[in-house]
């Protein structure tokens, strides 16, 4: 269980961008992501940091208009702090954030955390045939001009 030293913050001045980048560039969904892309993604989204005292140990990014829609992405807890219910603490903070209430639709994509998100009401797409996507899986491997 989380203890009193674990806190959640949306104050981006507290975020350890180096740690966030290091984690993301080595994970399956953002492998090779450049640091400047991580920095820009933090600047342009509502982000949540999980802290153990002053040390950041988790992160999530919510892309939202704060009126109708939110996409949750880049959710992680460092391996050294897993199995302490911190992902639940993080998701609870996101779902209860005052600026994210009354949204018509939430979405996310996961490969291995379905059980976590189901606890917060997420379900498989009811009408997957309506959804479309454009995916560029190798975008971080291409040279940028």
Query: What is the percent of the chain with per-residue pLDDT over 90, rounded to a whole number?
Result: 83
3-state secondary structure at position 63: strand
* Backbone phi and psi for residue 20, each to the nearest 5 degrees, phi listed first: -60, -45
Q: β-strand 105-108 against 69-77: which pairing, if any?
A: parallel
In whole angstroms, give the CA distance from residue 79 to residue 40.
Answer: 25
pLDDT of residue 2: 54
CATH (one of 3.40.630.30, 2.60.120.890, 2.60.40.3620, 2.60.120.10) for 6-130: 3.40.630.30
138 vs 84 pLDDT, higher one: 84
Cα separations in angstroms, 4 against 16, 94, 125: 21, 18, 36
Average pLDDT, the chain: 92
- Which residue ranges make up each domain of the chain? 6-130
pLDDT of residue 144 exceeding 70, the answer is: no
Q: Give the other-Cβ count within 10 Å of 23's Cβ.
A: 19
pLDDT of residue 1: 53
3-state secondary structure at position 6: strand
Structure confidence by residue, pLDDT tens digits, 69-123: 999 999 999 999 999 999 999 999 999 999 999 999 999 999 999 999 999 999 9
pLDDT of residue 7 exceeding 70, the answer is: yes
pLDDT of residue 43 exceeding 60, the answer is: yes
pLDDT of residue 135: 86
Q: pTM for the complete prediction?
A: 0.90
Structure token digits, residue 69: 């829609």
pLDDT of residue 145 exceeding 50, the answer is: no
Looking up tokens 């090779």 gives 32
């Amino acid at each position: 269980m989380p203890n009193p030293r674990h806190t959640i913050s949306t104050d981006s001045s507290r975020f350890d961008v180096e740690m966030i980048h290091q984690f993301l560039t080595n994970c399956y969904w953002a492998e090779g992501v450049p640091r400047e892309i991580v920095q820009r993604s933090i600047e342009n989204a509502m982000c949540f940091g999980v802290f153990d005292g002053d040390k950041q140990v988790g992160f999530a990014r919510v892309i939202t208009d704060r009126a109708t829609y939110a996409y949750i992405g880049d959710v992680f807890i460092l391996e050294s702090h897993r199995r302490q219910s911190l992902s639940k603490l993080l998701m609870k903070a996101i779902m209860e954030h005052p600026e994210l209430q009354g949204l018509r639709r939430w979405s996310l994509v996961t490969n291995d955390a379905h059980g976590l998100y189901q606890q917060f009401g997420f379900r498989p797409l009811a009408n997957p045939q309506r959804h479309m996507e454009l995916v560029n899986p190798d975008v971080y491997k291409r040279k940028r001009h």
